[in-house]
Amino acid sequence: MRIGLCQLNPIAGDVAGNVARLKQTVEKTAEQNPDLLVFPELFIQGYPPRDLLENGWFVKNALDGLDDLCRFSEYFPETGILVGITLPDTLRNGRGLYNSAVLIHNGRVVFHQNKSLLPTYDVFDEHRYFDPAHDTAVFPFKDEILGITICEDAWNEESLWDKPLYEIDPVSVLAAKGATLLVNISASPFHVGKQNLRCDIVEKHSRKHALPFVFVNQTGGMDELVFDGASMYFDGSGNLCAILPQFSEDVQIIDTCESMTPIVRPRMDAVGNVFDALVVGVRDYMAKCGFKKALIGLSGGIDSAVVAAIACAAVGPENVLGITMPSRFSSDGSVKDSLDLAANLKMKCEQLPIEATFTTYLDSLAPLFEGRAPDLAEENLQARIRGTMLMAMSNKFGHLLLTTGNKSEMAVGYCTLYGDMNGGLAVIADCFKTLVYRIAAHINRNGEIIPRNIIEKAPSAELRADQKDQDSLPPYDDLDAILSMLLEEGLSSADIVERGHQRDTVAWVVKAVRLNEYKRRQGAPVLKISRKAFGVGRRYPIAAKYLW
């Protein structure tokens, strides 16, 4: 069977646009005579549609789009179209909606398979919207018997997990029912190491059942999530025979009847993958939200430099504006470093000093602050002035303000609410500070883009004289190691101390993370690149008292 792996980038909610993209793909591949074209999970509505699914009109729009596709398919009677959509559940009990894969052929839906395993962890909340499939069936199509699953349905391969989440393995059920070709349509978000994990899962199924396996994944950014594609085909011997590129749209036709030469899994460059994911996340967030240009406050530090480089790679340096806003505590080097960075990136940078505004604020507050020594209040005034200036620029010119805080700062609250946290997208807020330095090295791999001085100087917020981050924080190597164990591995304080970290340092970090939950709740959407990011996948209480 000639099968098209259609790795595309839908827009959530844009049923008409997604249907049009599907039609274009069918037309462009027609001369290759595919028997079956496979598109990602919920492609017609775009994944994840979230609470749009609670609106009956939205579900109906998708069904209207499905009817349109059925009529369109009559012009291509030899080609089946397998695509994801929601279908109503007519049973008395339940949510009333399925996450489904429909097979369209010659004017009608000839088969549909509903999703059996509905994930409810991290960023997934499918029990909020869907009912699980009541049956899993195979379907004969042309010369194959198709065993169709949807994303999570393939993730219960028991040999990969200490404790599987579900009682059934839909892939094994389909193999036992006589499937000759396994197909999985997915919207599987990226995190570091995810592609290798997917390869392991699909290979295990293919080898276990001695069946070819087609896996088609969504690509592109959708709010906080980035989908990396990497769709693949394994032959009946469990050999990887085709894999599509990461982070880009692609369509590839494979023939299950032909003997294909096995290929070696692509070597994963974790830092390079993170950079690519962040570029795609910024590019698609801006495009899908209607922004043409990005705005960044350039501090002369490593974080804003990395965000600027990502933004320039995403939308072009001509569409990125940097603003440097020196105060009395800003070093001459910070301004020069910002200008040098902008020159290297070929982006525009404007200077907007805040000293006069800062002085006015201090004078206005002086009667109320009388008798109190300067402290965080005065320091944060500067960050909030900068945040206000940047938002004014964003409002006036319609640019998207990108925040530049990293995960280490966000975790312990080393950031200013209504100041440097202002903005529409938090680009590196899922990257620990140590990872930010590694991304900078990746950016400079072919020559200096981020000036060496930015990389080598000690990090500083420059909100008071001679300030350094390490005056207030543990060394970043220690801080990031503790945060990784706490946030991503879920270890307790005692577990972290047993791994060699100082008890007092661990206690300080744990307390800081807990106390600053309220800040993160008010932050911009965070592009997710780790297993556990701040944002929709983390649901901790604010007004709470607990010990890790």
Q: How do residues 415-466 score in pLDDT, each as one tens digit?
A: 999 999 999 999 999 999 999 999 999 999 999 999 999 999 877 766 677 6
Q: Are residues 311 and 197 in the same domain?
A: no
**Residue 462: predicted pLDDT:** 66
The domain total for the chain is 2
Please state whether 316 falls in left (phi above 0), alpha (psi between -120 and 50) or beta: left
Which range of residues forms the domain containing residue 409?
A: 274-469+517-521
Q: How do residues 5-52 score in pLDDT, each as one tens digit?
A: 999 999 999 999 999 999 999 999 999 999 999 999 999 999 999 999
CA distance 146 to 23: 23
Q: Are residues 238 and 310 in the same domain?
A: no
**Residue 229: predicted pLDDT:** 97
Q: Are residues 207 and 77 in the same domain?
A: yes
Residues noted as catalytic:
41, 115, 151
**Residue 93: predicted pLDDT:** 80
Q: Is residue 465 part of a domain?
A: yes
Q: Are residues 75 and 164 in the same domain?
A: yes
**Residue 317: predicted pLDDT:** 98
Q: Is residue 482 part of a domain?
A: no
Q: Is residue 461 part of a domain?
A: yes
Secondary structure (DSSP) of 271-335: HHHHHHHHHHHHHHHHHHHT---EEEE--SSHHHHHHHHHHHHHH-GGGEEEEE---TT--HHHH
Q: How do residues 347-392 score in pLDDT, each as one tens digit?
A: 999 999 999 999 999 999 999 999 999 998 998 999 999 999 999 9
CATH number reported for the structural domain that contains residue 234 in this entry: 3.60.110.10
Which residues of the chain, if any, have pLDDT below 70?
Answer: 92, 461-463, 466-467
Q: Are residues 12 and 98 in the same domain?
A: yes
Q: Is residue 294 part of a domain?
A: yes
Q: Are residues 213 and 160 in the same domain?
A: yes
CA distance 518 to 78: 56
Q: Is residue 547 part of a domain?
A: no
Q: Are residues 237 and 292 in the same domain?
A: no
Q: Which of 236, 262, 288 is the last residue of a domain?
A: 262
CA distance 72 to 281: 32
**Residue 24: predicted pLDDT:** 98
Q: Are residues 372 and 252 in the same domain?
A: no
**Residue 236: predicted pLDDT:** 95
Structure tokens that stand for 483 in this block:
């945060």
Q: Are residues 313 and 443 in the same domain?
A: yes
Q: Are residues 322 and 444 in the same domain?
A: yes
Q: Is 486 helix (H, G, I), strand (E, B) or coil?
A: helix
Q: Is residue 86 part of a domain?
A: yes
CATH number reported for the structural domain that contains residue 411 in this entry: 3.40.50.620
Please state whether 220 falls in left (phi above 0), alpha (psi between -120 and 50) or beta: left
CA distance 441 to 325: 26
Q: Is residue 269 part of a domain?
A: no
Q: Is residue 474 part of a domain?
A: no
Q: Are residues 351 and 229 in the same domain?
A: no
Q: Are residues 281 and 211 in the same domain?
A: no
Q: Which of 220, 236, 262 is the last residue of a domain?
A: 262
Element (H, E) at 71: helix 56-73
**Residue 91: predicted pLDDT:** 72
CB–CB of 4/30 below 8 Å?
no
